[in-house]
Amino acid sequence: MRKKRPDPFAAAAHAVAQSVGATRILEIGTGDGGATLALASVLPDAGMLITMEADPSAAAAARQLFAAAGHADRISVIVGDPLRFLHKVRGPFDVIVHHGDVDAVRARLMALLRAGGVLISANTKYSDEGEQPASPSILVKDMTIAEWLAAAKADAEKRGLPDLIPMLDGLAQATERLRNADWNDDAAGDTPRDDDQ
């Protein structure tokens, strides 16, 4: 029997949702439901998570998983192609998680976020050959990454979540190093900044 590999994307999404105090989450691509459960675990009792899954059998299995975990009351599963249903969803959301290529829906997803809301996306599929998923992309609406990280750190300190502080500090340091290194190597100095979205 093969041991299930830990999902670093689910862990990162969980940490981000927890750091913003998410009460409304949208997920595109339910898959096996593991990341969905990680996200649902940060929601308050009145919180809500909407997840969309194109594969009916995967959606049915995920619904059973959510019920068994005691989260069926706060997770709604929409079955069908997300491109067909996304226009029917109403925001604002605190966090939107997109499993797959986000380019076709990025503008719509950003419109569904609240100010300071976070869009997390990556191709999160694993293959049997051990291929690793792409690194997640994190976009924050109407805030720079540095502003969001500072706000998330202050909130984590206020709510007594010390385990998040080192991760947020590390992300802030990495962001500053990229900024200082002129990460796109543009000699003209036209380095895109996180607030140029």
Average pLDDT over residues 168-197: 61
Which helix (H) or strand (E) segment is 34 a member of? Answer: helix 34-40
On the question of pLDDT at 161 being above 70, the answer is yes
170 and 160 co-located in one domain: yes
Torsions phi, psi of 156, nearest 5? -65, -40
CATH code, 30: 3.40.50.150
Mean pLDDT of 136-154: 75
Position 148 pLDDT exceeds 60? yes
Q: Note whether 67 and 115 are same-domain residues.
A: yes
More confident residue, 13 or 52: 52
Q: Is 50 a residue whose pLDDT tops 80? A: yes
Claim to verify: residue 112 and residue 134 sit in the same structural domain: yes
Q: Which residue has the higher pLDDT, 160 or 112?
A: 112
The pTM assigned to this predicted structure is 0.70
Whether residues 107 and 167 share a domain: the answer is no
- Could you report the per-residue pLDDT of 11-33, keeping only the tens digit for each? 888 888 988 899 999 999 998 89
Host domain of residue 61: 8-142
Task: Give the integer Cα–Cα distance in Å for 55 and 73.
Answer: 21
If phi > 0 it is left, if psi is from -120 to 50 it is alpha, else beta; for residue 155 that is: alpha
pLDDT attached to residue 136: 64
pLDDT confidence band for 83 (50 / 70 / 90): confident
The pLDDT score that the predictor gives to residue 182 is: 56
Together in a domain, 45 and 30: yes
**Number of domains into which the chain is organized:** 2
Please give the Cα distance from 102 to 7 (Å, whole number).
Answer: 19
For the cut 90, the answer to whether the pLDDT of residue 134 exceeds it is: no
Cβ–Cβ contacts within 10 Å for residue 167, how many? Answer: 18
One domain, residues 95 and 157: no
Residue 44: pLDDT band by 50, 70, 90 thresholds?
very high
Model confidence pLDDT, tens digit, residues 88-103: 899 899 999 998 878 8
Clarify whether residues 73 and 90 are in a common domain.
Answer: yes
173 is a domain residue: yes
Mean of the pLDDT values across residues 99-124? 84
| Mean pLDDT, range 137-148, rounded to an integer | 72
Are 119 and 158 found together in one domain?
no
Q: Which amino acid is at 148?
A: W
Q: What is the mean pLDDT of residues 139-158?
A: 77
Tell me if residue 103 falls in helix, strand or coil: coil
